[in-house]
Amino acid sequence: MIPVRGYGGQRVAVLGLGRSGLAAARALKAGGAEPLVWDDSPEARAKAEAEGLALHDLTRARAFEGVAALIVSPGIPHLYPAPNPIVAHALAEGIPVDNDIGLFFRSFATPEWNRFDQPPKVIAVTGSNGKSTTTALIHHVLQVAGRPVQMAGNIGRGVLDLDPAGDGAVVVLELSSYQTELARALTPDIAVFTNLSPDHLDRHRGPGGYFAAKRRLFAEGGPDRAVIGVDEVEGRFLANQLSEGPGDDRVIRVSSGTKLEGPGWSVFARKGFLAEWRKGRQVASIDLRAIKGLPGAHNHQNACAAHAAVRSLGLAPKLIEEAFHSFAGLPHRSQLVAERGGVRFVNDSKATNVDSAAKALQAFPRIRWIAGGLGKDGGIAALAPHLDHVVKAYLIGHSARDFALQLGDTAHEICETMEVAVARAAAEAEPGDTVLLAPAAASFDQYPNFEKRGEDFTARVQALAAG
């Protein structure tokens, strides 16, 4: 646990008692504060009370008397589309509003660090797509290198559940826009921006607000090194703002598909090969084509970002390449779950928007595509340029019929359920085909989350393989 510093002897309200909220309350208590906790859910309140945490009804008119700050869980809106009423009350009263990420950055460093030979480092990863894989890949490479490393944030553990840092330790954080937008402290040593595509636009009142939330990690944080994906205009703009000129190697530009030239520091992938350039010459190269845990151009972009981040810590390219080969990938993110009769079955349930689905559709040559769920604005119309690898689509969930209308001449079948879709795709697949779950939609029509959807796909594939 990371005890929260700066609130000793003070009352701090905590709204939302999921993983991050409970961890924040415990860490506040460990740091000498008096956490006052609340959640709309009676079950969540009962769980907190059973831990000995003090319930405090934040819906009451004078709930913030004597309260030093309000700590808000990421899923609770504080600005758009409208502030949660409790947050609005705190804003009106002038109570500082923060989240667990802000508490972490104000509390992670301690006086004990003065005795360390190597000060601990924090690598923070944000972006629209690929941030989980990039975070996990950085963590894996550092583990293989023998560095003491922990992973947390939007993946793995809550940030305040981490162990205090030791000599030379590294913490790798995945941070969503919900987390970066509100944190009052953001001070990573290395910050990574993977890419940007439209998502969570209601929460941020449009693409500008969404980009601004991501940008805070760099503008507010002032990292020593910034790794920036420059395949979109927002990334190029961000890299330009952070750099003092073309040769400023505090900014490492990353691309999948574009050769990056110039006197600065860059890492890019083309035709399956990663290349690192610095001061106008190539200093490293990795053949990514045979790395099973990183299929497709989108994963090659993740590999470039991870390579750049760990190179910033001084790791050798040869060691990084060896670690890449032992990376198994993450569940629900281009995860190879089975091979049967020359047919691959790939679970990319995390592809919940058209941009991530497009990347998955470009990763394999012949695809039996399982798609559908609770569609987002625009459906899958934007995927039309990426359907050339699709042999046939098998559509499930609430938006199956709407998706069918947007597929044009692409062969398709409305299957409704995962059970039917997997059975039909497996029955029709030929050697060399990939049965790909890349829904391009949310899961909430049939599943509580994308993980459960991916687990259902995996279980049905494994049942076929067993049969």
- Does 266 show up as a binding residue in the annotation? no
- Does 131 show up as a binding residue in the annotation? yes
- Does 132 show up as a binding residue in the annotation? yes
Residue 234: both structure tokens together: 């927002």
Amino acid at position 291, single letter: I
- Does 255 show up as a binding residue in the annotation? no
Instruction: Please give the order of strands across the beta sheet that includes 434-437.
Output: 335-340, 343-347, 434-437, 367-372, 390-396, 412-416
- Does 127 show up as a binding residue in the annotation? yes
Residue 411: both structure tokens together: 């062969």
Nearest partner of 193 among 231, 162, 149, 165, judged by Cα: 231
Among left, alpha and beta (phi > 0; psi -120 to 50; other), residue 457 is: alpha
- Does 133 show up as a binding residue in the annotation? yes
Burial class (CB in 10 A: 0-12, 13-18, 19+), 280: exposed
Residue 347: both structure tokens together: 């679970």
Residue 389: both structure tokens together: 């690898």
User: How far is 200 from 451, CA to CA, in rounded Å?
Assistant: 19
- SS3 of the chain: CCCCCCCCCCEEEEECCCHHHHHHHHHHHHCCCEEEEECCCHHHHHHHHHCCCEECCCCCCCCCCCEEEEEECCCCCCCCCCCCHHHHHHHHHCCCEECHHHHHHHHCCCHHHHHCCCCCEEEEEECCCCHHHHHHHHHHHHHHCCCCEEEEECCCECHHHCCCCCCCCEEEEECCHHHHHHCCCCCCCEEEECCCCCCCHHHHCCHHHHHHHHHHHHHCCCCCEEEEECCCHHHHHHHHHHCCCCCCCCEEEEEECCCCCCCCEEEEEECCEEEEEECCEEEEEEECCCCCCCCHHHHHHHHHHHHHHHHHCCCCHHHHHHHHHCCCCECCECEEEEEECCEEEEECCCCCCHHHHHHHHCCCCCEEEEEECECCCCCCHHHHHHCCCEEEEEEECCCHHHHHHCCCCCCEEEEECHHHHHHHHHHHCCCCCEEEECCCCECCCCCCCHHHHHHHHHHHHHHHHHC
Annotated binding-site members for ATP: 127-133
Sequence ranges of the binding site: 127-133
